Amino acid sequence: MIGDLGAEDATELANWVARGDVSPSELLDAALAATAKRNPVINAVVLVQEETARKSIADGLPHGPFRGVPFLLKDLGAEAIDFPSHNGSRLLANTRYARDSAIFERMRATGVVTFGRTTSPEMGIGAATESAVYGGPTRNPWNLDHTSGGSSGGAGAAVAAGIVAFAHGSDGGGSVRIPASSCGLFGFKPTRARLPDGPYAGEGWAGMAIDGFLTRSVRDTATMLDACMGPDLGAPYVAPPLLRSHADAISRPPRRLRVMLCDTTFTGTAIDPQVASAVRAAGKLLEDLGHHVTPGCPKADVPMMMRAWTDIVGIGTALSVRSALGGRDAAALVEGVSRGALAHAETLHPTRYLQAVGEIHDFGRQMARAIEGFDIILSATLAEPPALVGRFSHKTDDYVAFRMGPDGVFPYSPFCAVFNASGQPAASVPLGQSDTGLPIGIHLAAPFGQDETLIALCAELERATPWAARRAPMAG
């Protein structure tokens, strides 16, 4: 009965366990078998801890909503005693933790059986996952010549390949939504501070980074968000409270919404024609569902935001590198883009960090004004279909050009980081497909704190255009 884990979502697998149709050990066996079969091709799953997973089953799993379902942590953050991490870097390889992070404790309480980690680019600053510590790039299960995205690229590839039904990720500039778009999955970035950061961080990248999940169904994301949301002890700030749970929100369609449709970048630059067509098709679908769709673009200073994002992340990367180097040679342990971030940070005045944070806050206020009169901003997730492997290699040491140059990450992904900066909830839904069969994600964003509205709309789209049957070739 188990067959392929990628054929069902995590909620259904948990139902199998609850009915006694399968055991957690049998599901783990299936996940490990799929890892052995498919991971050598896509290079997505690392640091497998089979004995730890089997011990968690033997000790008795929590009776949460995903009891017995195999699960993977991103190899960046989600600190856990039993799961060492490379953090995408040779510099931080085999890092051990003295205590569990709040997000891991909450994920574990759902009853998942965690058995390893998934690849990420060094320091999480790339739109592709090709870190040297893993010995090669992570590839897209839909087409091995293309990237699965980043920085949660391993998570996206593992779910799309049918190794697991869902996986942990994180998103500081699109790092859940980019792989969701690239791998034909659902990816949701909650409102800033909806999920806990502690105790290892007070906030990630000035509050722009947050955890998330790569899933095949909206209900899996909704249930995991409900299980994990809320501040950890001593959090510096909290998200506005929800009026109802995510799971309750998706149980009924939202009211008819006012949608701003942008089929260019937010600065008016044209995007790939196939992607623009997919955006317009999504707008037509929303109109058919009774929503009110109006062409437009949010009026905000996106170039300012991109510069501030680049400086904040460069300074954060430099801090991480300097803290771990301990006098060792960066050239031998740190990849080019991260060395470039370190060099860029050294050119900035000591006051630049707070200035950049202030610009991000100003940008959030601009976006709040820009969405007035609308409930949703509809755009593409990426400006083009998934890039070829190697295009966003970390070998270059020109960090600024890597992010902001004409061939850099921001022109490729001009939408996602906007909502990390503003703190608004945003999602990528797998509604489109290129002429060559590559997934195209459609991006939806709501006003700050309006997570219920956004996830309810995502669920309505899923019901109207079910995407679960569309699967990567290697997933069967």
Q: Could you tell me the pTM of the whole model?
A: 0.98
The two tokens of residue 475 are 């997933």
Q: Is the pLDDT of residue 253 over 90?
A: yes
- Euclidean distance between CA atoms 243 and 449, whole angstroms: 10
Domain borders along the chain are: 5-302+356-475
Three-state secondary structure call for residue 150: coil
Write out the H or E segment, with its range, that includes residue 234: none
Share of the chain above pLDDT 70, in %: 99
Residue pLDDT, tens place only, 371-399: 999 999 999 999 999 999 999 999 999 99
Residue pLDDT, tens place only, 322-332: 999 998 999 99
Q: Is the pLDDT of residue 3 over 60?
A: no
Cβ neighbours of residue 146 closer than 8 Å, sequence gap 6 or more: 139, 140, 182, 385, 386, 387, 388, 389, 438
- Euclidean distance between CA atoms 91 and 327, whole angstroms: 12
> Is beta strand 292-295 parallel, antiparallel or unpaired with respect to 210-215?
unpaired
Task: Give pairs for 352-359: CB < 8 Å, separation 24+.
Answer: 352/311, 352/315, 353/311, 353/312, 353/315, 356/206, 356/307, 356/308, 356/311, 356/312, 357/206, 357/308, 357/312, 359/304, 359/305, 359/307, 359/308
At residue 475 the predicted structure's pLDDT band, cuts being 50, 70 and 90, is confident
Bond before 199 cis per omega within 30 degrees: yes
Q: Is the pLDDT of residue 192 over 80?
A: yes
Q: Is the pLDDT of residue 46 over 70?
A: yes
Residue pLDDT, tens place only, 94-134: 999 999 999 999 999 999 999 999 999 999 999 999 999 99
State the catalytic residues: 74, 151, 175
- What is the structure's pLDDT at 22? 96
- What is the structure's pLDDT at 74? 98
Domain 5-302+356-475 sits in CATH at 3.90.1300.10
- What is the structure's pLDDT at 7? 80
DSSP 80: B
